Amino acid sequence: MAVNAESQVPAATPATSSLAIEVRGLTKHFGSVLAVDHLDFSVQPGSVTGFLGPNGAGKTTTLRMLVGLVTPSSGEALVNGVAYRDLDDPLRTVGAVLEATGFHPSRTARQHLRSVARVADIPDARVAEVLEMVGLAGDGDRRVGGYSLGMRQRLQLAQALLGEPEVLILDEPANGLDPQGIAWIRNFLRWYASLGRIVLVSSHLLAEAAQTVDDVLVLASGHIVGQGPLQSLLSGVTGSVRVRTPEADRLVDVLAAAGIAASQDSPGLVVATGTSAEVVGPIMAEHRIVVHEMTTSGESLEQLFFAMTEGSGLGGFSATPGDATS
Amino acid sequence: MIRLLRAEMVKVRSLWSTWVLIGAGALLASGFGTLIGFAPHRRRGLSAILFPPHGTAAWFDDLFSAMSIAQTLALVIGVLAITTEYRHKTVTSTYLAEPHRGRVVEAKLVVSAGWGAATAVAAGAACLVLGFSVVAAGIGTSNVMLTEFRHVFPGVFLAAMLFAVYGVGLGALLRNQVLALVVGIGFTAIIEPIIVGIFPTQGEYLPGQAAQALESVTASARNFGSSGITHLLPWWGGGLMLITYGVVFSIAGSLTTMRADIS
């Protein structure tokens, strides 16, 4: 796998207090099961990093080790150069959205947030602010027991934002959200990263992740099997491009001349295979071909994903404890 | 630490179970007090010898012994302080906010002691209302009644406070809510009396007996009513024993069950 080891950032030194997540040799056994196996990666600020992998890959376990809830069997997971438990002010450094459970049903959202906020001396005004941010302002004084899954997910996010953290870690944040909610969180994460902060978000939903993340870490069976900017990973993958154009015949010829396999599926619809929009687009522009519609097959990330995760020996422990934790 | 204490205060205050337990303390204390004082069978035969006449100091003393129900409810408050966190997975946010788990337990020990004391205050207040009602009905004098209240209440207050501490220890060690409650209440109510029956001297170190000792901080020796001669530690010894149970169990819990992964 070309993207594997080389793309780790080599220059980062633990001594600097610069904003970063560093994971070195991180390993976790649950009994005889190896859930996470010598992970090495780093996450830099300013972009949304997707932590992708099938269920059971070890994503949740890794994220929980980052925030000190799960103790690594060996290796270390550092935030800004130190382990989570050694952070001076954990809530203002890291905000974590881990699961949509974790609320006492008889507490209101506001009471729950206050109980967390007190620990870091965060004022009640900030509690009201984060409830507003996630769209729960009107429901803040209702008991969480009556909340929908989506509302609980929002409340998790509100809790993570209490300390305006520099690092945001989210485990499957789209779970339980409706389409508007998913779109909202996508925009929110992009905005948050644009402030120069770290956003690390796990997902097993590739189509969703593809729209949100800039960089990816692909995990399978406890190993990193792919790492780097999403675009550069995808550029290595061949997909298919469908173009609706009044000049279908000319497009087929032009593409053929460029060495791209293309055919006219139906009148006015050209399908080019083994290529990408990034390749087809410029060719069409160059030849001034009128385009009514262009779509790429949404499978490209999926194909990449399957290619990466298949080769990693899933056989040993396919669907076992890695995500017993999720 | 102050911040953690405030966080724990918010948690306990915002649980309806806390207020139910405190309310139950008041209701049960006045209910049992009424039963003890006015149970109809008491006037005849052996009862007439064992149980003092209405309105006497000893009778008020018996009546007020009902407030020691606060001790059991305080134990429940202490147990819940930790076990609800695991049951409802709020430990996740608790440990995210304070990754040093031992400090969380320390804060819970302190805050639960306060809520245990509050339970005793509620039960005491209810008994006081009962006492004044009885006096108003022409039984005994308020002077005698208040003197006996002052004898009984301080011990119950301390016992409830420290039983909450003991409860936190049990919760930290066992982590499972049902298990910790069954062990905590079951031991004191069922197993401990059996042990005490067989080994009266050694039994004085057990939690229930330690609380009993604590309740004699001001009350006269007959505060254990009918049981006759019992071996009890001095009141401060009982207090030390309960603190020891709470702290030792908390430390043991912090070193074992509470270090487990939160997943």
Q: What is the ipTM of this complex?
A: 0.85
Q: Out of B7, B88, B100, name the one closest to residue A104 (CB).
A: B88
Of the candidates B84, B151, B152, which has an alpha carbon nearest to the alpha carbon of residue B123? B152
CATH number for the domain that contains residue A211 = 3.40.50.300
Please give the Cα distance from B183 to B258 (Å, whole number): 18
Residue B203: inside a domain: yes
Q: What is the pTM of this model?
A: 0.81
Query: Do B98 and A105 lie within an 8 Å CB cutoff?
Result: no
Q: Hey, what's the torsion of the CAs at A152, A156, A162, A164, to 10 degrees?
A: -130
- Residues of chain B contacting A103 with CB distance shorter than 8 Å: 88-90
- Residues of chain A contacting B6 with CB distance shorter than 8 Å: 118
Query: Do B90 and A60 lie within an 8 Å CB cutoff?
Result: no
Please give the Cα distance from B152 to B141 (Å, whole number): 17
Domain holding A84, by residue range, is 21-228
* A10: region left, alpha or beta (phi > 0 left; psi from -120 to 50 alpha): alpha
Query: Do A64 and B263 lie within an 8 Å CB cutoff?
Result: yes
Total domains, chain B: 1
Residue A251: inside a domain: no
Phi, psi angle pair for A255, to nearest 5°:
-65, -40
For chain B, the residue count is 263
Residue B101: inside a domain: yes
Residue burial B113-124, b: 16+ Cβ < 10 Å; e: rest: bebbbbbbbbbb
Residue A130: inside a domain: yes
* Amino acid at the residue A305: F
Residue A263: inside a domain: no
Contact call for residues A246 and A270 (beta carbons, < 8 A)? no
Residue A67: inside a domain: yes
Q: Out of A99, A101, A119, name the one closest to residue B97 (CB).
A: A119
Please give the Cα distance from B177 to B79 (Å, whole number): 7
Residue A122: inside a domain: yes
Residue A200: inside a domain: yes
Domain holding B198, by residue range, is 2-256
Q: What is the DSSP letter of B260?
A: S
Total domains, chain A: 1
Residue A259: inside a domain: no
Contact call for residues A75 and A27 (beta carbons, < 8 A)? yes
Tens digit of each residue's pLDDT, chain A (326 residues): 333 443 344 443 444 457 789 999 999 999 889 999 999 999 989 989 999 888 888 999 999 999 999 999 999 999 999 999 999 999 999 999 998 788 999 999 999 999 999 999 999 999 999 999 999 999 999 999 999 988 999 999 999 999 999 999 999 888 888 888 888 889 999 999 999 999 999 987 777 777 888 898 988 888 888 888 887 777 666 677 889 999 999 999 999 888 888 888 888 899 888 777 888 888 999 999 999 998 877 555 666 777 777 654 433 333 333 343 33
Residue A13: inside a domain: no
DSSP bridge pairs for A322: none
